[in-house]
Amino acid sequence: MTKLSVNINKIATLRNARGANNPNVVQVAKDCERFGAEGITVHPRPDERHIRFQDVLDLSEVVQTEFNIEGYPDRRFMDLVKRVKPAQATLVPDPPEAITSSTGWDTITHLTMLQDIVSELHGSGVRVSIFINPEAKYFTPAKETGTDRVELYTEPYAVGFPKNPEAAVAPYVEVANLARELGLGLNAGHDLDLHNLAFLKKSIPFLDEVSIGHALICDALYYGLENTIQMYRRKLENV
Ligand SMILES: CC(=O)[C@@H](O)[C@H](O)COP(=O)(O)O
Ligand SMILES: NCC(=O)COP(=O)(O)O
């Protein structure tokens, strides 16, 4: 079974546009769970342009499913994660000024740093996932970091999918099998949507989790949040 974790960053973007508390990020997280989300993902960025650090604290009081906090592991992020103790922390190599995530870790160059970070998070009982590109050379070093899972960076898949789905998914299938051989759990995310999700799931049936935000929230404008979450869930059913 592949869990659907709904990334609610964009709900915070909308709230922040007016400075008050509409939409209410905490209420939306509770509603996402009620509508079928199996996890809630947030990615607090240093400028707090969408999810604020206070939101993470508030959400930690209410999230009943798997709470996944993504971000670059600077000291502020680490202190927040260790305080909240979510089900999972996903480490992403984004610089502070990044508009959105655009690459996975170079686990070869940053092996020692990642080993230290993973060990510190494990000390607080937090499961760790590492955001990673679909390149085989990064997987054995990823395993050596001690991480529990890797999250495949799926933007290149999403870009290639409309023209040639088989070619787009091929590198992901290869590294997914490698991750499984290494005993790593497997997540995926970035630019997944209603068009490309089912084919990814069919190609890699043993995916543990996908985290989806931007497209899902855009679809909710047309289909409604409850309906949209159910539509995404159906794309993850085994076929
Ligand atoms: C790691 C990842 O792919 C997502 O967290 C994505 O970066 C969402 O972040 P934004 O909502 O800031 O684009
Ligand atoms: N980890 C990926 C994520 O949380 C959502 O990415 P996106 O669907 O907003 O591109």
| pLDDT for residue 184 | 98
Atom of ligand 2 nearest to the CA of 215: 8
Predicted confidence (pLDDT) per residue in 10-41, tens digit: 999 999 999 999 999 999 999 999 999 999 99
Give how many domains the chain has, as a whole number: 1
Which of these is catalytic: 33, 38, 151, 190?
190
- Cα 128 to its chain centre, rounded Å, is 11
% of residues, the chain, pLDDT over 90: 98
Give yes or no: 151 in active site. no
Predicted confidence (pLDDT) per residue in 195-227, tens digit: 999 999 999 999 999 999 999 999 999 999 999
36 near 229, Cβ under 8 Å? yes
Q: Is 109 annotated as a binding residue?
A: no
Tell me which residue of 44, 129, 35 sits closest to 79, measured CA to CA: 44
Q: What is the mean pLDDT of residues 97-118?
A: 96
Q: Is 195 annotated as a binding residue?
A: no
| pLDDT for residue 239 | 55
| pLDDT for residue 55 | 98
Which residue has a Cα nearest atom 6 of ligand 2? 190
123 near 159, Cβ under 8 Å? no
Which amino acid belongs to residue 46? P
The CATH number that applies at residue 36 is 3.20.20.70
What is d(CA 154, CA 182) in angstroms, rounded to the nearest whole number? 20
Which amino acid belongs to residue 54? Q
| pLDDT for residue 221 | 98
Give yes or no: 122 in active site. no
| pLDDT for residue 189 | 98
Which of these is catalytic: 33, 38, 43, 209?
43
CA-based torsion, 116, 56, 42, 178: positive or negative:
positive
Query: Which domain, by its residues, includes 113?
Result: 3-235
Other C-beta atoms lying within 10 Å of the C-beta of residue 125: 9
Residue 84 CB–ligand 1 contact under 6 Å? no
Which-ligand-closest: CA of 131? Answer: 1
Ligand 2 neighbours (beta carbon < 6 A): 7, 41, 70, 151, 189-192, 211-215
Give yes or no: 43 in active site. yes
Predicted confidence (pLDDT) per residue in 153-186, tens digit: 999 999 999 999 999 999 999 999 999 999 999 9
Which residue has a Cα nearest atom 9 of ligand 1? 100
Q: Does residue 238 carry a pLDDT above 70? A: no
Predicted confidence (pLDDT) per residue in 50-98, tens digit: 999 999 999 999 999 999 999 999 999 999 999 999 999 999 999 998 9
CA of 165 to the centre of ligand 1 (A): 23
Give the phi and the psi of residue 90 in degrees, each rounded to 5.
Answer: -110, 120
Provide ipTM, 2 decimals: 0.97
